[in-house]
Structure 1
Amino acid sequence: MTGGFPLDLILFGMIAAFLVLRLRSVLGRRTGFERPPADRPVAVPPVMGPADAVAPVTRRGVPDSRGPVGQALARIRGTDPNFDPAAFLNGAEGAFRMIVEGFAAGNRPLLRDLLSDDTYAGFEGAITERESKGERQRTEIREIRDATIEAADLRGTVADVTVRFVSDQVNLTTDATGKPVAGADAVTELTDIWTFQRDLRSSDPTWKLVGTRSA
């Protein structure tokens, strides 16, 4: 057509305009991985407490199924098909954090739900003694490095599972004036051996702490 635009150029122009619009729409989206512009203030996340902090991945150890501990775990699963050693370790790590920090805070209701009667009596006595002296305990679990099942037993329908926890903690006890009387304001690696128990016939899924010792 004389004096007009060739049809192929019109089509190419339309395609180019479409691609430009698409490119702008893609580049205009933030996917969450871009660096913030240098002239835009970066929002600083709020300071998180020990319970809210994102902890590094814990190394978890489940015994070989062919060994004595692994066979005991298999017997527990035979009685309770819902029992899973890996899932148990996840719950045990959570209980470890709650109990350690709950003891430091003197949180009796929380401890009452997670400890056996005898174990709770020991913890409660220590809290009462600390309070009678006007002392305060600060405990921070900085990292749980390792959580490994070391022993297991099944007596009838009552199951015991023992876990070794290796953790980095800050433990400091101060008197009524704020003066340190025990521990230190520094990170210390601690190894704790905890035994959890549950009657597999019970409708309560909670494994309660029945024994503690340090290694």
Structure 2
Amino acid sequence: MMKRFFTVFALVFVVALSTPHAEAKKFGGGKSFGKSFKTAPVKQKQPQQTDTIRKQNSPAASSSKKGLMGGLLGGLLAGGLLAAFFGGAFDGIQFMDILIIGVIAFVLFKLFKAMRANKGTPMGHRESYAGNSPQQQPQQPQQQYRQAAGAQSQPQNGGFESTDSDVPFNLPPNFNMNAFLSGSRDHYRIIQGAWNHNELEKIREYVSPALFADLEAERAKLSGEQHTEVMYVDAELVRADYDANTAQLSIKFSGRYKDSVEGVEEDITDVWHLERDLKTPNAPWLIVGIQA
């Protein structure tokens, strides 16, 4: 019995050792190198309500028509005039009855007139569409360009903020987040291909010198070409900050990759930390850290 147990244990141990380690075939060998930062997902900012919107959404605004109706007819109902009218108390109409009916008709006329006026010009309509008024002339192109340039000179967070108060999300000036993330997905595939084919000079273009030294030593542990294929990958910004000298970004990649030769599939859960020298014109973004 014990002999059989040790035989099974030895077989399991050998199989475990012979199973290919997919992480080692990924760019960076599935390890963490270089700089590391705390990261967090981002969320879309909740738009702040203006005074007009708050008034429109307030209980007082939603019950404005009800209040108007109650104010004009409430007194009549409280006095029992309508009840008297419909209850037959006006049989044998006298002068005072005619006067009361006239008052009711006048009040109803004013009520319907006010309701039609409100229907024609709803609250906030004039203010909301003032910019489209035909009396206003469109801005000159040069003025529009100057305003756009002025806006671009300020950091734009695209309506997003970090879900963790300890993680900054301050996008650098003139930063296009959607274009950057789209390019990041392409670069992930390019760098993985360079890692497969041991094209270290291509990888050098994307990483800092300190990180390149670590990656070069790690790639030397793998012999020959590798066959890690990125099946699909997505990217999201999980940290952003900058000062007068340097801009920093952290990108979280998620997806799936496989090695068709060894029959291995694994998830992609990598974070790249990038930096850019803002003092140097047209300086590239360089990977300064990898978190696996």
Fold match by TM threshold 0.5 = yes
Mark the CA change 1:100 to 1:110 in structure 2 (over 3 Å): closer, same or farther.
Answer: same
Report the Cα distance in structure 1 between the residues aligned to 2:276 and 2:217, rounded to whole angstroms. Answer: 24
Match of 1:142 in 2: 231
Match of 2:177 in 1: 85
Asked if the contact 2:42/2:160 (under 8 Å) is kept, the reply is no
Match of 1:96 in 2: 188
Q: Which stretches of structure 1, 4 residues or longer, exceed 4 Å deviation after superposition?
A: 68-71
Asked if the contact 2:169/2:239 (under 8 Å) is kept, the reply is no
Does 1:199 find its partner at 2:287?
Answer: no
Report the Cα distance in structure 1 between the residues aligned to 2:217 and 2:259, rounded to whole angstroms. Answer: 19
TM-score (normalizing by structure 1): 0.55
Q: Structure 2: which 5+ runs fail to align?
A: 1-40, 45-158
Amino acid at match of 1:72: N
* Secondary structure of the structure 1 residue equivalent to 2:205: helix
* Secondary structure of the structure 2 residue equivalent to 1:72: coil
* Secondary structure of the structure 2 residue equivalent to 1:114: coil
The C-alpha deviation readout for 1:162-184, integer Å capped at 9, x for no partner, is 01111210147xxxxxxx8xxx4
Decide which structure has greater strand share.
1
* Secondary structure of the structure 1 residue equivalent to 2:186: helix
* Secondary structure of the structure 2 residue equivalent to 1:167: strand
Shift of 1:206: 2.1
Report the Cα distance in structure 2 between the residues aligned to 1:208 and 1:63, rounded to whole angstroms. Answer: 26
- Name the % identity: 24
Does 1:154 find its partner at 2:242?
Answer: yes
* Secondary structure of the structure 2 residue equivalent to 1:211: strand
Q: Which structure 2 residues correspond to residues 1-215 of structure 1 after superposition, within 5 A?
A: 64=44, 65=159, 67-68=161-162, 71-73=169-171, 76-77=172-173, 81=174, 83-130=175-222, 134-144=223-233, 146-171=234-259, 184-214=262-292
Report the Cα distance in structure 1 between the residues aligned to 2:259 and 2:208, rounded to whole angstroms. Answer: 24
The C-alpha deviation readout for 1:123-144, integer Å capped at 9, x for no partner, is 11112232xxx45421101111
Mark the CA change 1:185 to 1:85 in structure 2 (over 3 Å): closer, same or farther.
Answer: same
Mark the CA change 1:115 to 1:147 in structure 2 (over 3 Å): closer, same or farther.
Answer: same
The C-alpha deviation readout for 1:79-122, integer Å capped at 9, x for no partner, is xx2x2111111222122111122112111111111111111111
Shift of 1:201: 2.8
Report the Cα distance in structure 1 between the residues aligned to 2:239 and 2:272, rounded to whole angstroms. Answer: 10
Structure of higher RCO (CA pairs closer than 8 Å, 6+ residues apart): 2
Decide which structure has greater helix share.
2
Mark the CA change 1:197 to 1:63 in structure 2 (over 3 Å): closer, same or farther.
Answer: farther
Report the Cα distance in structure 2 between the residues aligned to 1:189 and 1:160, rounded to whole angstroms. Answer: 26
Larger Rg: 2
Which deviates further from its counterpart, 112-121 or 186-195?
186-195
TM-score (normalizing by structure 2): 0.42
The C-alpha deviation readout for 1:6-48, integer Å capped at 9, x for no partner, is xxxxxxxxxxxxxxxxxxxxxxxxxxxxxxxxxxxxxxxxxxx
Shift of 1:63: 5.0
Report the Cα distance in structure 1 between the residues aligned to 2:279 and 2:235, rounded to whole angstroms. Answer: 26
